[in-house]
Amino acid sequence: MRVVTTDRFRTQLAAGSISLSGDTFNVALLSGSYIGTASLANLKANNEWSSLSAYETVGTGYTAGGQELSGLSITEGNPVTSPISTTVWDADNSSWSNTTLSATGAAIYKPSADIVCIIIDFQETKSTESGPFTISWNTNGVANII
């Protein structure tokens, strides 16, 4: 997975307008029509969910807007395994049961502020046929923030 933080997210986080452990964040699935054609610069600059939602996946068992991230936590990164001091933002895995859909990525966004925080590129199309669709977050967290 390729994980990209948006410009607005980094700015709002630095300004203290976003609380990684106190705010509500959703994760929504995206279709190939966006992820497959977006450059890294475009991914970083796509800051509003109201614009990005036009590329949301549609399928059986999936509700528009995605679902709320649960089990949010913040921990200090491991200085032994990483030479750079980081903050690890993590959440429980996200899963939709009994779905028939295809997605090439996902977006984590703050619905109350219309801010896209992170865009995830699965780097391939993931599909389900009457089964669960699960995003298993990296063992190093949803994101590492330097």
Return mean pLDDT, the chain: 87
Predicted TM-score of the model (pTM): 0.88
Q: Summarize pLDDT for 4-44 with one digit per residue, the tens.
A: 888 899 899 999 999 998 999 999 999 876 666 566 667 67
Domain ranges of the chain: 2-128+141-145
Identify whether the C-beta of residue 80 lies closer than 8 Å to the C-beta of residue 68. Answer: no
